[in-house]
């Protein structure tokens, strides 16, 4: 059962999939339709799941699951990953590479490899106050508090200490 993202319990588990590029308008509509269809039929051992999704900045797909109702299983998570891989193939995007960093530069969102991000830190092109996207957040409460944060308040802080 899909409900609006803002209605999900703050303890709902989330997965953040960042794209290596912004979605085009026509892609965005198709992706939302595909997400709705997938999530409406997503189950764990044939048990209905209480889920939601949102797409932020036309680039981040966030899927939420209220595990107090029914928890994800290995098979259900595999189905989700398979769905995300299908999106990658269809739109020629990268959603599963966790070795890249997205951060704000004014109103623009940059997407760089860790190596390139370290170079930007060294060249002082990004600072400790640069807003980064911490895609390692675990639940909606964590997402609301710690997803968009200054680099020093996330795992990215280690790049400023070397």
Statement to judge: residues 146 and 104 lie in one domain:
yes
Nearest CA among 115, 111, 159, 119 for reference residue 135:
111
For 24-53, give one letter per residue: b (16+ CB within 10 A) or e.
eeebeeebeeebeebbeebebeeeebbbbb
Statement to judge: residues 64 and 106 lie in one domain:
no
The last residue of a domain, from among 91, 115, 149:
91
Percent of the chain at pLDDT > 70 equals 99
Statement to judge: residues 84 and 140 lie in one domain:
no
**pLDDT, tens only, 135-157:** 999 999 999 999 999 999 999 99
Statement to judge: residues 148 and 123 lie in one domain:
yes
Statement to judge: residues 18 and 80 lie in one domain:
yes
Statement to judge: residues 84 and 119 lie in one domain:
no
Statement to judge: residues 115 and 85 lie in one domain:
no
How many structural domains is the chain composed of? 2
pLDDT greater than 90 at residue 81: yes
**pLDDT, tens only, 43-68:** 888 888 999 999 999 999 999 999 98
Exposed / middle / buried, residue 137 (Cβ in 10 Å: 0-12, 13-18, 19+): buried
pLDDT greater than 70 at residue 162: no
Tell me the C-alpha distance between 79 and 110, whole Å. 29
Statement to judge: residues 87 and 116 lie in one domain:
no
Q: What is the pLDDT of residue 44?
A: 81
State pTM to two decimals. 0.94
Statement to judge: residues 21 and 72 lie in one domain:
yes
Average pLDDT score over residue span 110-117: 95
Q: What angle do CA 148, 81, 84 make, to 5 degrees?
A: 70
- Domain ranges, residue 41: 5-91
Q: Give, in order, the Cα–Cα distances in Å from 104 to each of 101, 131, 151.
A: 10, 5, 10
Statement to judge: residues 34 and 106 lie in one domain:
no
Q: What is the pLDDT of residue 86?
A: 97
| pLDDT, averaged across the chain | 94
Statement to judge: residues 59 and 128 lie in one domain:
no
Statement to judge: residues 62 and 116 lie in one domain:
no
Tell me the C-alpha distance between 33 and 99, whole Å. 28
């Amino acid at each position: 059962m899909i409900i609006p993202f803002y209605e999900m319990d703050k303890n709902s588990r989330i997965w953040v999939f960042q794209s290596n590029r912004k979605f085009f308008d026509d892609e965005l509509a198709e992706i939302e339709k595909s997400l709705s269809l997938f999530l409406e039929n997503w189950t764990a051992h044939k048990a209905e799941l209480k889920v939601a999704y949102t797409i932020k900045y036309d680039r981040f797909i966030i899927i939420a699951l209220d595990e107090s109702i029914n928890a994800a299983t290995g098979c259900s998570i595999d189905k989700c990953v398979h769905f995300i891989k299908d999106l990658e193939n269809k739109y020629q995007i990268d959603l599963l590479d966790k070795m890249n960093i997205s951060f704000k530069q004014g109103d623009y969102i940059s997407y760089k490899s860790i190596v390139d991000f370290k170079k930007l830190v060294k060249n002082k092109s990004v600072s400790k106050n640069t807003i980064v996207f911490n895609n390692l957040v675990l639940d909606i409460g964590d997402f609301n508090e710690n997803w968009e944060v200054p680099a020093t308040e996330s795992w990215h802080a280690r790049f400023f200490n070397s």
